[in-house]
Structure 1
Amino acid sequence: MNSGSRPEPRKVIAALPQYSSAAGTSRVTWRASSNESVLPPSPRVVEAIARAGATAHLYPSLLGDALVADIAERLQVTARQVVVGGGSLALLQQTLSTYTGHGTEVIFGWRSYEAYPILVGVAGSDAVPVPLGADGTHDLAAMLAAVTPSTKAIILCNPNNPTGTEVGREQVELFLQRVPPTVLVLLDEAYQEFATTSLDGVGLLDAYPNLAVFRTFSKAYGLAGLRAGYMVTSEEIADFVRVASPPFGLSTVAEAAAQEAGADADYSARVLRLVAEGRDRLRAGLAERGFPTPVSGGNFVWIPLPHGARELEVGCIARGVSVRAFDGEGVRATVGERAAEDAVLAAVDDLMATVASSPGKTLT
């Protein structure tokens, strides 16, 4: 037996970037690095989790039928148009696996959600990242210009993660009108509940049968630890994605929690209020310090930092809060916890003092 032999992954998998983890999360008081809800699930949701846990010895429903029915009724679509699963990210992966593959291309804006290149690579397709515009929003004209006969899908993250920037309904409709009907547009609306524009992708489905909308229960509904999300699209696309999806893809506990969370309007309203106030508060504090930030449609604020992103991350950890740093680009900080927002501002003050005492050092 050759002791040096071992199974080798597909070359495309071995070359993929790894999803990064925020630094210092085990050493801080506040986690502002993963865009989680600052509130734990409501008592109603906790009770639903406990009830569902009592039947954990049984398989969940095959397709998350009860949750599908609730979502379809709330959004006024047919049940066949809704696919649920273990987070919107899993559903995006299943959709890419269904519609893309070797010899195809997938376009997405960049910087955007760092999982996109990984998902595209796993599906066997070629990633085509298109730089964001100067204002940090998706450059829709450039994305259209990148379409080739090999393009099978376009991912549009709106509001965009990590910049928080948004494209409005009129812009998206003009974009959809120009996308070839054979190209699938995957509209990632993970932060839709926090958006400042009027765009609601579900309202565009009737006019654009090549559109699929992805949403999650992780953010506004506070269920990041349970992994529940859904896709709404045409019945035909949904049918094919279900074929490619693993059976029992949503746990009984996650389904029960998502049903209750979706019905608990008071909880969601409280989260949205905390986030809106936190965004305004943190952006105002940063502006006072000479750091302009884009209007955010997420539960976070993006701090553009061509230089010093890692230094600010280290400073935030020293102040007891974790953030997400992107070297050479900026820092993303989740909002909603006032003490954490204050810690970020204090870390910015520390960084500014360091720069002021270092001749030739700059953050811009």
Structure 2
Amino acid sequence: MNLYERVGLQSHGLHAQAGDVTYELMSAEVESLCSHLSKFSRLIQRFERSVDIAGIPGMPHESESACFHGGAFWEVIGDTFETLERRESIISADVLDAWFEPAPAVVQALERCLSFALKTSPPTAGEGMRHVIARARGVSKNSILTGAGSSNLIFTALRGWVTPSSRVLILDPMYDEYAHVLEQVIGARVDRLRLSRTHGYQIDRQQLRDSFSRGYDWVILVNPNSPTGRHLPRHQLEHLMAEAPKATRFWIDETYVDYVSEEQSLEVHAATSSNVVVVKSMSKAYALSGVRAAYLCASPGLVRETLRWSPPWAVSLPGQIAACKAFASLDYYRARWRETAILRGELQAGLEAQGWDVVPGCANFLLCHLPRSAPDAEESVAKVRARGLFIRDVTSMGTGLGKRAVRIAVKDRGTNQQVLDILSSALGLG
């Protein structure tokens, strides 16, 4: 009995006897079970690694070796790039690439020196890129570390700072690369702060504040969050971090913050703090997904520490050129971010008119729960894919999302209308 109670089951006081065996009726809410089981995540992982569970119905023979990402549209286009023209026949709203083009200065710079950029080794540690980013963000170059996309920095920095004995708090739901790295790669002790659909997946500040008493080594936040699109304002987050124990470090992923406002970034705060790290991908807000450019902002001491185990030439020469030219074109991007807010609002209105429950986000995507008349997320994704539309089933990105949650990237106005038309016809929402 004690074993079952420890994982959250509660007795109803009803018993049945079969021979020498006594059965007792027990039950629990799914959210309660997940909360209790998260305390035993490391034990469960050790069990999975040491026990051969092949042949047991419903159990995987081996665990996934990598985190699942979107990009299913490459199955249609072809990942050997011999039929790239097929890209014109699909809408890739399952990944969060920018709907707009890179700044003209970015494209022109690469066109002028493409052959040189392809055959030439880049600056070893992205020194010029670090300088350009630091100048644009008002911090020291020594507070910037570059990487080949935010995932590169997640794997590099967190694997250096987090150990199997570390206690880490993450959001649920949240970009699942973090859970993968922390639990499957590092084996850290991970707890989840569950975000409720009832409250619009907003972070409960009091709940977060209360969690600090558990003595976490790291608190990992994506802000604005993915897949929810919800944002915790900078001043509120600064106040919360000030209340945390000095030994607790914060990792803030600000990949989407520019869609809210550049002023909402914590980069300047991180550059002068001993316990705050900001990571920013340049893929989503700067239309540079293909060149894999990102950076981390932290105190010079933390950056020096991370440089010791960071690989040289992390960002390609085309990536470094593109990043530098992008930061020289901020007016262009600011205009695109403002347009994105308008397009997002139009897409949300169109979805709600079809009966979707849309979470009011602030990035370049929307988290949506399917109308009751539609199939579940898995089936709906398959139905619209057959018509050339790719959207993301995000039910696995959190324990409380249910089976009807999808994420849809914001596109240009014409493409957004195509998205709405396909959803309506394929799912019978007209």
Tell me which interval the TM-score lies in, with the shorter structure as reference length.
Answer: 0.7 to 0.9
User: In the TM superposition, what is the alpha-carbon distance from 1:22 to its structure 2 partner?
Assistant: 4.6
Q: Does the 8 Å contact 1:315/1:350 carry over to 2?
A: no
Q: Does the 8 Å contact 2:380/2:427 carry over to 1?
A: no
Summarize deviations over 1:327-359 as a string: whole Å, max 9, x none. 3251111112223322332344346637x9xxx
1:75 equivalent among 119, 122, 137:
137
User: In the TM superposition, what is the alpha-carbon distance from 1:230 to its structure 2 partner?
Assistant: 0.5
* Structure 1 position 162 matched with structure 2 position 233: no
2:116 and 2:423 mapped to 1: Cα distance?
47
1:126 equivalent among 160, 179, 189:
189
1:222 equivalent among 282, 287, 311:
287
Amino acid at match of 1:84: T
Higher relative contact order (CA 8 A, sep 6+): 1
Secondary structure at 1:182 match in 2: coil
Q: Does the 8 Å contact 2:230/2:362 carry over to 1?
A: yes
Amino acid at match of 2:154: L
Amino acid at match of 1:47: Q
Secondary structure at 1:156 match in 2: strand
Secondary structure at 2:297 match in 1: strand
TM-score by length of 2: 0.73
Q: Which has the higher helix share?
A: 2
The count of residues paired between Structure 1 and Structure 2 equals 346
* Structure 1 position 108 matched with structure 2 position 170: yes
| Residue 53 to residue 131, structure 1, CA distance change in 2 (3 Å) | farther
Q: Does the 8 Å contact 1:319/1:346 carry over to 2?
A: no
Amino acid at match of 2:69: S
CA root-mean-square deviation:
2.8
Aligned to 2:156: 94
2:410 and 2:290 mapped to 1: Cα distance?
18
* Structure 1 position 309 matched with structure 2 position 377: yes
Runs (4+) of structure 1 moved beyond 6 Å? none
TM-score by length of 1: 0.85
Amino acid at match of 2:188: S
Q: Does the 8 Å contact 1:86/1:229 carry over to 2?
A: yes
Amino acid at match of 1:132: L
2:354 and 2:262 mapped to 1: Cα distance?
27
Sequence identity (%): 24
User: In the TM superposition, what is the alpha-carbon distance from 1:173 to its structure 2 partner?
Assistant: 1.8
1:165 and 1:339 mapped to 2: Cα distance?
25
Secondary structure at 1:220 match in 2: helix
1:333 and 1:29 mapped to 2: Cα distance?
14
Secondary structure at 1:107 match in 2: strand
2:213 and 2:162 mapped to 1: Cα distance?
14
1:104 and 1:58 mapped to 2: Cα distance?
41
| Residue 197 to residue 168, structure 1, CA distance change in 2 (3 Å) | farther
1:320 and 1:209 mapped to 2: Cα distance?
48
Unaligned runs of 5+ in 1: 1-9, 357-364
Aligned to 2:203: 138
User: In the TM superposition, what is the alpha-carbon distance from 1:106 to its structure 2 partner?
Assistant: 1.9
1:106 and 1:208 mapped to 2: Cα distance?
19
Summarize deviations over 1:185-213 as a string: whole Å, max 9, x none. 01100001112695221243367431111
